[in-house]
Amino acid sequence: MERTAPTTGRSALPEAAILDREGLDALIAALRGDGYAVIGPRLRDGAIVLDPVESADDLSWGLIDEQDGGRYRLVPGDAQTAFSHTVGPQSWKRHLYPPRQTLWTGRRDGRGFTVETPADPVPHHAFLGVRACDLAAMAVQDRVFGVAPHEGRSAGQERFTDSGYAARRAAAFIVAVNCGRAGGTCFCDSMGAGPKAAGGYDLALTELPGCGTPAFLAEAGSATGAALLARLPGHAAGPQDRAAADASVEQARAHMGRAMVPDAGPLLARNLEHPRWAEVAARCLSCANCTMVCPTCFCTTVEDTTDLSGDHVERWRRWDSCFTVDFSYIHGGAIRQSGLSRYRQWMTHKLSSWWEQFGTSGCTGCGRCITWCPVGIDITEEARAIHDSEGRG
Ligand code: SF4
Ligand code: SF4
């Protein structure tokens, strides 16, 4: 399957059209016809998750989400909208960087031992409904996994590209959705990551609410996206459509649930012994939810398993978390034994030392870690408490 890489901006490809529900359905059908497995936001177990989508009927029409620290509820919204909810518990990383992967298998063969690496086919995914914060998260993981160069990369580091991630990423077709509504825990605006997708997509949709029927401004961001858009039923977008789309995004920006304090990285770096760390540690359960739902967290561990005969062995890589004690285990013990040290490690890495490592923030303001923390710990609130204490000093 041939495809071109998404551009970093959309100005070079001005193609735009208005799609209705039939057009959205045709988009999904065209992607499936081109051999993509379409993954999109749909309702399962009381949440919007990222599952296979076969038609527009599978999308989460008329649902919006209420989100706050430790709280997530779906409630009825405008039945003519498919994307007025915001991000759910899952991010696209589970499709680009699966929670469990076989690294290699070994088989005893007479007196020898044969090691094989799995030759799994690369899935061709079309991601439908990627929000700006999650596009930014993909760009962050591109740096982490060696797909994109960055100023923090040391000499020779390009040799360590994660080949599985790189292959999945290159094969993916991305349909972004610009947000017309902000969730209660969103703070992408203050992170410079949303609510409008800045680039890195093949197509971008902006839902135009209030039309009485479903309507989407579809804009191409790559040659592949433009070619696909040209095949869809729709009509040319006019200046008033673009103005309506811009107004929708600005509405989301104006109602952003939270904001990160400015210069959070240096702020945390000079406050490593702040008493607030002990306060948050007293609440933190070290459950690791925040790292599992985060679209940029990438820590893993490896596990070996053998069958009972000892003739077959497998090495697996699976997601792990800096919130587990064992994660920092080196000879003799774990470095981060206290909850304080683990929470501080996570938050300072996200907002501060990630810059030194990868030349970017490790947080895009998606808000998932706030919503899915069982005790409602809020990364923006923790940063603000330290920020405000400096003002009082
Ligand atoms: S740290 Fe929290 S808000 Fe930031 S990207 Fe991760 S889950 Fe989203
Ligand atoms: S901050 Fe919340 S989600 Fe993260 S480990 Fe602590 S209790 Fe769990």
Residue 35 forms part of a structural domain: yes
343: CA distance to ligand 2 center in Å?
8
Strand partners, 343: none
- Region for 146 from its dihedrals, namely left if φ exceeds 0, alpha if ψ lies in -120 to 50, beta otherwise: left
What lies within 8 Å, CB to CB, of 111 at 6+ separation is none
199: CA distance to ligand 1 center in Å?
20
- What is the DSSP secondary structure assignment for residue 357, as one 8-state letter? H
The answer to whether the CB of 340 is under 6 A from ligand 2 is no
Work out the burial of residue 120: count CB atoms within 10 Å of its CB; fewer than 13 is exposed, 13-18 middle, 19 or more buried: exposed
Spatial distance between the Cα atoms of 207 and 230, rounded to a whole number of angstroms: 19
User: How many domains does the chain contain in total?
Assistant: 2
Residue 3 forms part of a structural domain: no
Residue 241 forms part of a structural domain: yes
Domain that holds residue 341: 264-388
304: CA distance to ligand 1 center in Å?
30
The reply to whether 67 and 137 lie within a common domain is yes
The reply to whether 42 and 179 lie within a common domain is yes
Among 200, 229, 253, identify where a domain stops: 253
Which helix (H) or strand (E) element contains residue 277? helix 276-283
- Pairing of β 173-178 and β 125-130: parallel
The answer to whether the CB of 288 is under 6 A from ligand 2 is yes
| CB distance 54 to 48 below 8 Å | no
Spatial distance between the Cα atoms of 174 and 9, rounded to a whole number of angstroms: 14
The reply to whether 276 and 203 lie within a common domain is no
Residue 7 forms part of a structural domain: no
| Number of the ligand closest to the Cα of 351 | 1
The reply to whether 187 and 333 lie within a common domain is no
Among 224, 253, 282, identify where a domain stops: 253
The answer to whether the CB of 369 is under 6 A from ligand 1 is yes
Strand partners, 318: 100, 301
Residue 112 forms part of a structural domain: yes
* pTM of this structure: 0.92
The reply to whether 168 and 78 lie within a common domain is yes
The reply to whether 151 and 203 lie within a common domain is yes
| CB distance 364 to 295 below 8 Å | yes
Among 253, 281, 300, identify where a domain stops: 253
The reply to whether 100 and 140 lie within a common domain is yes
Given ligand 2 and candidates 277, 284, 297, 368, which is best to mutate, with the most ligand atoms within 8 Å of its CB? 284
Contacts of the segment 13-16: beta carbons below 8 A, 24+ positions apart: 13/220, 13/221, 13/222, 13/223, 13/225, 13/226, 15/219, 15/220, 15/226, 15/229, 15/230, 16/217, 16/218, 16/219, 16/220, 16/229, 16/236, 16/237, 16/241, 16/242
pLDDT, position 393: 52
Going residue by residue through the chain, which has 393 residues, state the pLDDT in tens, using 9 for 90 and above.
333 333 333 334 448 999 999 999 999 999 999 999 999 999 999 999 999 999 999 999 999 999 999 999 999 999 999 999 999 999 999 999 999 999 999 999 888 889 999 888 899 999 999 999 999 999 999 999 988 766 655 555 666 889 899 999 999 999 999 999 999 999 999 999 999 999 999 999 999 988 889 999 999 999 999 999 999 999 999 999 999 999 999 999 999 989 999 999 999 999 999 999 999 999 999 999 999 999 999 999 999 999 999 899 999 999 999 999 999 999 889 999 999 999 999 999 999 999 999 999 999 999 999 999 999 999 999 999 999 999 865
Hey, CA dihedral for 198, 204, 210, 211, is it positive or negative?
A: positive
The reply to whether 125 and 151 lie within a common domain is yes
pLDDT, position 212: 84
Which pair of tokens denotes residue 113?
A: 């031992």
Q: 285 vs 34, 94, 253, 344, CA distance in Å?
A: 46, 24, 32, 14
The reply to whether 274 and 238 lie within a common domain is no
The reply to whether 24 and 135 lie within a common domain is yes
The reply to whether 109 and 170 lie within a common domain is yes
256: CA distance to ligand 1 center in Å?
15
Residue 9 forms part of a structural domain: no
The answer to whether the CB of 296 is under 6 A from ligand 1 is yes
The reply to whether 229 and 305 lie within a common domain is no
Residue 393 forms part of a structural domain: no
Residue 8 forms part of a structural domain: no
Written as one letter, the residue type at 376 is G
- Provide DSSP, 174-209: EEEEE-SS--TT--TGGGT--SS--S--SEEEEE-T
Spatial distance between the Cα atoms of 289 and 89, rounded to a whole number of angstroms: 10
pLDDT, position 392: 63
Spatial distance between the Cα atoms of 349 and 296, rounded to a whole number of angstroms: 11
